[in-house]
Structure 1
Amino acid sequence: MRHLLLALPFALLPLAAAQAHDDHDHEHGSLGAHEHGVASLNVALDGQALELQIDSPAMNFVGFEHAAKSDADKAKVAAAKAELEKPIELFGLAAGACQVTKQELESPLFGEHDHHHEDEAHEHEHADANEHEHEHSDIEASYQLSCKQVDALKQLDLSELFKRFPATQKIQVQLIGPSGQQGVELTPAQPRLSF
């Protein structure tokens, strides 16, 4: 009986650890959740077709997440949108002779009220507080490009993105390319990823 009681805390340890992990994920978010300073980027290179999709808290790109009411806030939103309309510069794609064939920029801050991609957990957490209904605004940008010199396209370089949006501290990248699939965290100090 004594051995069973001694073994019980060790038997329950994995359950406690799993519960603590689940609680941590719910409180602080897991990969892909809304976290200031962090963005996610999906990249797929197939032949000459290159697709990129970045999802970031608006805080990283404009410095706030509320609706832009003042002229200064509206100017910040317009400036961020203008920067996001230059994917070849932002992602260091000049070497591939790439041209944008399609791009979509979406955010409640851009005045598009039909898209609400807020994390359900955040919606649930803030359901009682109506004044915080849009507290977590994201900016999503999707790009389709055609690259004529794919062989010259050796890497993704986010140096410009980090420079133009300094509140972005890390970007979780999922890349599918000629070398297979890879996932990596890029930072201002380590902004490049080879295809």
Structure 2
Amino acid sequence: MPTQHFLAATLLLISAATCAAPAWAYTQHEAHLHGQVELNMAQDGNDLLLEITAPAADVTGFEHPPETDAEQQALKDAVQTLNRPDTLLALNAEAGCQLHEHHVSHTLSEHTETHNHDHEHEKHSDHDHDEHEGHDHHDHEQHSEHDHDDHERPSKHGEFSIQYTYHCEAIDKLSTLTLKWFAQFPATEKIQLQAITAKGQHATTLTASQAEFRF
């Protein structure tokens, strides 16, 4: 489960995107278009919050639960890559931005799988896991059929959701975002960027040939 900080960050990103360009309303409905990724960015004081929504087909090459060893490995490799944002994007060094927290989730399993990376969260992860396993088996069976129906439909349009939070020592010097995403996931044709920072609101489309955004 995301930490309280990430819940606040998500609310901020939703608010930012709602206030941004009208194209946001359109891209929300087009989130499952293959080759199209959404990137929302919002500044919160000295923190920079980024949220990426990507079709699973762009990230793994398929959008259904993995059925073979090769697909299992592809999913594992994709999650490992997404957990290393330095391989996906770069902020100009003058801003002094350091990754503070990140969260990766996807819908390529019967129940949404999440990977939350936060030191405080990791201290409690084992305890939380034990509590989850201790849930009444009857309750699980009671909801299993309903859960299966709920997840069967989304699995046809599997997607990844990734949040990165950076703390920047000199966020006023933030001027450039360079995406390396296209090198890691070449199936992506374009990334729709929505950003709200102290420098204003921005909306643009980034591609492999134009992967740098200047604030």
Deviation at 1:47, TM superposition (A): 3.5
Matches within 5 A, 1:27-38: 30-32=26-28, 33=30, 34-38=32-36
- Residue in structure 2 matched with residue 15 of structure 1 by the alignment: none
- Count of aligned pairs: 151
Mapped contact 2:92–2:175 kept (Cα < 8 A): no
Unaligned runs of 5+ in 2: 1-24, 114-150
- Residue in structure 2 matched with residue 20 of structure 1 by the alignment: none
Structure-2-length-normalised TM-score: 0.64
Partners in 2 of 1:49 and 1:155 — Cα distance? 15
- Residue in structure 1 matched with residue 38 of structure 2 by the alignment: 40
Aligned residues: CA RMSD? 2.3
Partners in 2 of 1:36 and 1:141 — Cα distance? 17
Structure-1-length-normalised TM-score: 0.70
Q: Which runs of 4+ in 1 moved over 6 A?
A: none
- Residue in structure 2 matched with residue 143 of structure 1 by the alignment: 164
- Residue in structure 2 matched with residue 78 of structure 1 by the alignment: 76
Partners in 2 of 1:112 and 1:175 — Cα distance? 33
- Residue in structure 1 matched with residue 65 of structure 2 by the alignment: 67
Partners in 1 of 2:203 and 2:197 — Cα distance? 11
Q: Secondary structure at the match of 2:177?
A: strand
1:134 and 2:130 correspond:
no
Match of 2:201 among 165, 181, 186: 181
RCO (CA 8 Å, sep 6+): is it higher in 1 or 2?
A: 2
Structure 1's 30 and 176: CA in aligned 2 closer, same or farther, altered over 3 A?
A: closer
Structure 1's 152 and 133: CA in aligned 2 closer, same or farther, altered over 3 A?
A: closer
- Residue in structure 2 matched with residue 98 of structure 1 by the alignment: 97
Deviation at 1:89, TM superposition (A): 3.4
Paired residue type of 2:191 = I
**Percent identity over the alignment?**
36
Mapped contact 1:106–1:112 kept (Cα < 8 A): no
Mapped contact 2:178–2:211 kept (Cα < 8 A): yes
What CA deviation, in whole Å up to 9, does each residue of 1:12-57 have, x standing for no partner?
xxxxxxxxxxxxxxxxx94222100001000112332010000011
Unaligned runs of 5+ in 1: 1-28, 116-129
What CA deviation, in whole Å up to 9, does each residue of 1:127-160 have, x standing for no partner?
xxx97662100100011111224244321111x1
Partners in 2 of 1:40 and 1:70 — Cα distance? 28
